[in-house]
Amino acid sequence: MKLRLVDLGTLSGDRAYFFEGVDPGSKCDLVMIGAIIEHPKAGVILYDVGPAANDNELRHPVARAAFPITSYTEDNRLDKILNKLGYELKDVRGIILSHLHWDHAGGLEFFRGLRVPLYVHAEELKYAYYALATREDLGGYHRHYMDLRFNWRAIHGNEMELFSGVKVILTPGHTPGLLALNVDLKNSAPFIVTSDTCFLKPNYYEDKPQGWLMRDRRAWWDSLRRIQNLAARSDANVILGHDPEVLADYTKEPYYD
Ligand SMILES: [Zn+2]
């Protein structure tokens, strides 16, 4: 099994979204991280798909003003990244979505018309439709990819080994159904990808709670401690949801196996 981390572009937002107690007014860059798993039995599996290539046409201008994409080139396009590895979009056998915010699921636009299974936690799927329908939480969910024609597959419970060595773990707080990823490899320590439970290093290494993007504080602390405990026990490589330094460190090697 091979695991690659990929750069799906960069967005920017006020630091007060990401860290509690920070004065608004200063921005920081967040890289959008995806993972490509080449699984010996299951084939090509993705964890998160980044934004849509034409995000500027799909997201509402107010949403784009709060979280603009500041860097997105051909090298960040998921289809081109797969092509460079010798794959087409249709070769993807499954997509695990950490949660359904636009910077993780907007890239489902690449997969329109394909019947690839989309694995998402039941609580996330329910909440995303609820949030859009009631307009109670429009922050991160966008209607363009919340399309009934996709092949949605719900995950239930606290954790599930979806494919041998590839496990998802329910870690709510940022959203109700956020799934972290744990991949066990032969020649490398396990990888844990936190997605947006931890955007950047201070969330994880300094126990810094999220700011305006926090939805359930109690659940977030439980999720943070759960990931930290799991990582310590397995000596795992921890990939934070949006940290540019972490991505740079883990893309020095083309892949881990
Ligand atoms: Zn995100």
CA of 246 to the centre of ligand 1 (A): 15
Please tell me the predicted confidence (pLDDT) of residue 232: 98
Among residues 12, 24, 111, 102, which one has the least CA distance to residue 58? 102
Residue 170, CA distances (Å) to 60, 99, 124, 160, 226 in order: 29, 10, 10, 9, 10
Distance of CA 215 to the CA centre of its chain: 17
CA of 233 to the centre of ligand 1 (A): 26
CA of 215 to the centre of ligand 1 (A): 13
Q: Which residues, chain by chain, have CB under 5 Å from ion ligand 1?
A: 103, 196
d(CA 6, CA 29): 16
Please tell me the predicted confidence (pLDDT) of residue 74: 97
Please tell me the predicted confidence (pLDDT) of residue 90: 98
Please tell me the predicted confidence (pLDDT) of residue 254: 95
Please tell me the predicted confidence (pLDDT) of residue 201: 98
Please tell me the predicted confidence (pLDDT) of residue 143: 93
Task: Copy the structure tokens of residue 76.
Answer: 């960040």
CA of 223 to the centre of ligand 1 (A): 16
- Residue boundaries of the structural domains of the chain: 2-250
d(CA 208, CA 220): 11
CA of 116 to the centre of ligand 1 (A): 22
* pTM assigned to the model: 0.97
CA of 196 to the centre of ligand 1 (A): 5
Write the DSSP assignment of 56-123 as a string of letters: HHHS-HHHHHHS-EEE--GGG-HHHHHHHTT--GGGEEEEE-S--SHHHHGGGGGGTT---EEEEEHH
Please tell me the predicted confidence (pLDDT) of residue 138: 80
Task: Point out the residues of the chain with pLDDT beneath 70.
Answer: none
Homologous superfamily (CATH) of 2-250 is: Ribonuclease Z/Hydroxyacylglutathione hydrolase-like (3.60.15.10)
d(CA 208, CA 219): 14
Task: Copy the structure tokens of residue 40.
Answer: 């010996």
In tens, the pLDDT along 161-171 reads: 999 999 999 99
Please tell me the predicted confidence (pLDDT) of residue 18: 97
